Amino acid sequence: MISEDIQEFGDLINRAQRILLISHIRPDGDAVGSLLGLGLMLEELGKEVNLVLEDGVPLVFHHLTGADKVYQEPAGVYDLIVVVDSSDIDRIGSVLDEHGEPDVNIDHHPTNTQFAKLNLVRESAVATVEIIYDLALALSLPINLPIAEALLTGLLTDSLGFRTSNSTARTLRIAAELMDRGANLQVLYRKAMLEKSLAAVRYWGQGLSRIQSEDGLIWTSLTLKDREIADYSGRDDADLVNILSRIKDTAVCVVFVEQTDGKVKVSWRSRPGYDVAEIATQFGGGGHKPAAGAEIKGDLKRVQEEVIEATRKILT
């Protein structure tokens, strides 16, 4: 039995010819994997598909098939607009401004605002690619090797290599299915998660050199100057927050990344029992209980003070 919303999604793609797929700014492996995975499936069905990421595809995902076909803005008129892995509409940046409203929202964030006409939101999914995998099974969409590689990349990156508490036996079964279709787990893991550029590691060094700690709370910041010194090209934290989360006896860790537009990108990670999505939501962001983020207006020092103050509250 196919659920009603999945059937409706199937009907929408059957009727559409020109389809726009979008995911979020500062895209991670699940954003890229979901976009490419679903995009390649729809292309296999003979659809004209446009893939859009306002920030483009990060270098660590350039090996994935279709990464070179991702544009930073839409072009033209579409029959169907699908947003993947984005908990609210602001997460996609300003790419949709003159191109219409999202028809479908496929996501796994508990903080999802159900912003589209059809919302395929599954909080139990470890990654959005898991939902796309389920859609493929239910609707008999093709999963060839490049699609399997895109989906496995999203599964690996969002589960931190099957380490997050929401990783289940089913997550591993899906990974195994994708490996059966030829996806190479070790290579995808190394490319998307393990390998870092020298610039990224120098950038970490800037952040690690001024780490602060207080009763189970660990935080640090990355300034625009740090980015320049390290010659790091991304607008993100190069995954420094997941390094901080490995520090023993840390309940919550936070990384502040200064941006060029007068905003600060904040990333939280927490041990089970501490809900950082709730704090991120207070600041206009969102995410999951153990991993959340927000983009906050203001200078680095003030944002840091306000966020640390609010984060302290959940620790006491």
Q: Does 226 bind ligand 5GP (CB under 6 A)?
A: no
Q: Which residue is nearest to ligand 5GP (CB)?
A: 293
- Minimum gap (Å) between residue 15 Cβ and ligand 5GP: 30
Residue 23 or 220: which CB sits closer to Mn ion?
Answer: 23
Burial profile 139-176: b = 16 or more Cβ within 10 angstroms, e = fewer: bebebeebbbbbbbbbbbbbbbeeeeebbeeebeebbe
Longest dimension (CA), the chain: 56
The answer to whether 266 touches 292, Cβ cutoff 8 Å, is: no
Residue 181 or 263: which CB sits closer to ligand 5GP?
Answer: 263
Query: Which residues touch 305 (CB under 8 Å, ≥6 apart)?
Result: none
Residue 69 or 162: which CB sits closer to ligand 5GP?
Answer: 162
Answer for which of 23, 34, 50, 87 binds ligand 5GP (CB under 6 A) is: 87
Q: Please spell the DSSP secondary structure of 98-140, one letter per residue.
A: TT---SEEEE--TT----SSEEEE-TT-SSHHHHHHHHHHHHT
The answer to whether 131 touches 120, Cβ cutoff 8 Å, is: yes
Answer for which of 153, 267, 304, 311 binds ligand 5GP (CB under 6 A) is: 267
Binding mask 106-145 for ligand 5GP (x = CB under 6 A): ---x-x----------------------------------
Binding mask 271-310 for ligand 5GP (x = CB under 6 A): --------------xxxx--xxxxx---------------
Near ligand 5GP in 91-110, by CB under 6 A: 91, 109
Find which of ligand 5GP, Mn ion, none residue 91 binds, CB within 5 to 8 Å per kind.
Answer: ligand 5GP
Which candidate, 312, 273, 306, places its Cα nearest to that of 289?
Answer: 273
Cα separations in angstroms, 83 against 12, 114, 226: 14, 11, 33
Answer for which of 54, 103, 158, 275 binds Mn ion (CB under 5 A) is: 158
The answer to whether 276 touches 222, Cβ cutoff 8 Å, is: no
**Angstrom distance (rounded) from CA 189 to CA 60:** 11
Residue 16 or 60: which CB sits closer to Mn ion?
Answer: 60
Query: Which residues touch 291 (CB under 8 Å, ≥6 apart)?
Result: 164, 267, 268, 269, 270, 276
* Number of residues binding to Mn ion, judged by CB under 5 A: 5
Near Mn ion in 67-126, by CB under 5 A: 85
Answer for which of 22, 25, 30, 86 binds Mn ion (CB under 5 A) is: 30
Binding mask 235-264 for ligand 5GP (x = CB under 6 A): ------x-----------------------
Which candidate, 61, 39, 41, 58, places its Cα nearest to that of 188?
Answer: 61
Instruction: Give the residues lining the site for ligand 5GP (CB under 6 A).
Output: 87-88, 91, 109, 111, 241, 267, 285-288, 291-295
Binding site for Mn ion (CB under 5 A): 30, 85, 127-128, 158
